[in-house]
Amino acid sequence: MQNLTAAGQLAGLVGERAAAGDYRSQLGVMTQIREDFERMASILANDTREPRADAGRAGPVRDSAGDELPKIDRIVVYIDDLDRCPPARVMEMLEAVHLLLAVELFVVVMAIDPRWLLSAVAAHYRDVLHVPGNVLADGADDTQASTPAQYLEKIFQVVLTLPPVDRRGHTSMINSLIDIQAPATGADENRTAASTTGTTEPLRTTGRPADLPTTTDGSWDEEMYGPAVDGLPVIELPDPLTFTEDEARLLRIVGPPNLPLTPRSIKRLINSYGLLTALRQPHHQHDLEEIPATTKPDGTPVPAHHPYRAGLVLLAALVAHPALGQHLCRQMHAQTEDTTEDITWETFLERLASLPADEPVTAGVGDDGQTTGPHRIDTRQVDDLVAGLRGITAEAAGEGLHLPDRLAAWKPWIVPAARLSFPAGQIVKTLTTRPTPSPRRDGR
């Protein structure tokens, strides 16, 4: 009789479908994952401890080795480097995070550049979410629109923005990444001079390890180890991340508040400068030597300086302001081509800051060697760059680390530094149409 009623027939249909599993087979992977997560949470929530015989209370659970197993209350998932993924992968990860957060068991901590995250959401939902600058339908204003930030607020319950790197953090990171070269002794200087000029004589040894046995008469056992050979010359390779105290002091100055370096860009600066010094071998030792003070034709004294400082400061500027790399290198290269004008470093900075707001920058060069369309420079970034370079110049002078006063002393470093930057490296070909001179001993 129950099957004759509507309620009975409905119950029978539901039971039949549930038993057959037709619907469950179509639920998909995400539903199965969510059910598995919920089951994991239920198992951990119902975790019971073995009762103690003496106290009748729950005691610790131990593994086969007798070690106590901790009770798991939460599973914390850490996600990093999501800002290196394409927008589609970012959205897949956000969907997975939303699925995890639906279960009380999981806590998700993400470290990410919010600019990349917002751009990925805006690109994925460009037909749904409102992006500033787009016209809304029915004359609605921005306050009535759904935005990428509102989408993310539904996923992230707590947001903590980390402050930018300050001088103290920059200095601490520099000290942790580099080693300071010990002052050279007379023997070290002689060895350095010999290796630089290539006059080192090969070592004449038997070539056998000291701990290998010899024959009874002390001679080399050729039957056991083969014929004896003359020793090869010993080549001491310098550590590219070991710098002089002079270099380390300038590395600490080029960072915040002068140039806006992040932890990642600080590492890139250290590694790039280490590569630059390695590429300069065997000339790097001369780059570290002091150029004596001179006097300008008008009688103005030019303080002594070290050639390497121009390369280090230029490289730091390219790392901190990559979007301005091509513009900076072009301007510096163009103004040093005119040998009739003796341009000072301060004059160059004044000219760099005087670029009109509406003046387009020369077309760039793509990877295929073809020119790209001209674009405009953000003059606010140029102002920040010039202010930072002036701050470095003044602070370095106060510390006795004077930068080269003549712009001609900076020219030999334009191409080597540009080669170590993605944007600036694209114009290296245009900067090498004429040979670049080597640094002169008088700094001019």
In the prediction, which pLDDT does 51 show? 47
What is the structure's pLDDT at 101?
A: 87
Q: How far does Cα 37 stand from its chain's mean position?
A: 36
Question: What per-residue confidence (pLDDT) applies to 284?
Answer: 86
User: Rounded CA gap, 265 and 268, in Å?
Assistant: 5
Q: Residues 47-56: contacts with CB within 8 Å, 24+ apart?
A: 47/71, 47/72
User: For the CA atoms of 430, 435, 439, 444, what is the dihedral angle to 10 degrees?
Assistant: -90
Closest CA to 265 of 168, 164, 383, 381: 164
Distance of alpha carbon 295 from alpha carbon 98, whole angstroms: 68
- What confidence score (pLDDT) does residue 233 get? 65
Q: And the tokens for 114?
A: 């919010």
The CA distances from residue 12 to 6, 7, 160, in Å, are: 10, 9, 53
Token pair belonging to 425: 């490296």
Angle between helices 308-320 and 263-279 (to 10 degrees): 140
Which pLDDT tens digit goes with each residue over 51-77? Answer: 444 444 456 667 677 777 677 778 899
Confidence at residue 226, expressed as pLDDT on a 0 to 100 scale = 64
Give the side-chain half-sphere CA count within 13 A for 142: 8
Assigned token pair, 138: 């029915």
Please check whether residue 30 is in contact with residue 92, taking contact to mean a CB–CB distance below 8 angstroms. Answer: no
Residue 145 burial (CB < 10 Å; 0-12/13-18/19+)? middle
Residue 119's SS3 state is helix
Per DSSP bridges, beta strands 360-361 and 375-376 are antiparallel
The whole-angstrom separation of Cα 326 and Cα 424 is: 5
Q: At 69, which helix (H) or strand (E)? A: strand 68-69
pTM, entire model: 0.69
- pLDDT tens sequence for the chain (444 residues): 555 666 666 667 667 766 666 656 655 666 777 778 788 777 777 764 444 444 444 566 676 777 776 777 788 999 998 888 999 999 989 988 888 888 888 899 999 999 999 999 999 888 887 665 555 555 555 556 788 888 899 899 899 999 999 999 999 999 999 999 887 655 445 444 444 444 444 433 444 455 555 555 666 666 666 666 666 666 666 788 999 999 999 999 999 999 999 999 999 999 999 999 999 887 888 999 998 888 877 777 777 789 999 999 999 999 999 999 999 999 999 998 877 778 999 999 999 998 664 444 544 444 333 444 555 788 899 999 999 999 999 999 999 999 999 898 999 999 999 999 999 999 998 887 654 444 444 444
Per-residue pLDDT, 392: 98
Do residues 402 and 305 make contact, with C-beta atoms less than 8 angstroms apart?
A: yes
Cis amide bond preceding 257, omega within 30 = yes
Residue 71, pLDDT score: 73
Q: How far is CA 220 from the centre of its chain?
A: 53
8 A C-beta contact, residue 403 and residue 397: yes
**CA torsion through residues 193, 196, 201, 204, sign:** positive
In this structure, the number of other CB atoms found within 10 A of the CB of residue 221 comes to 14
pLDDT score for 442? 46
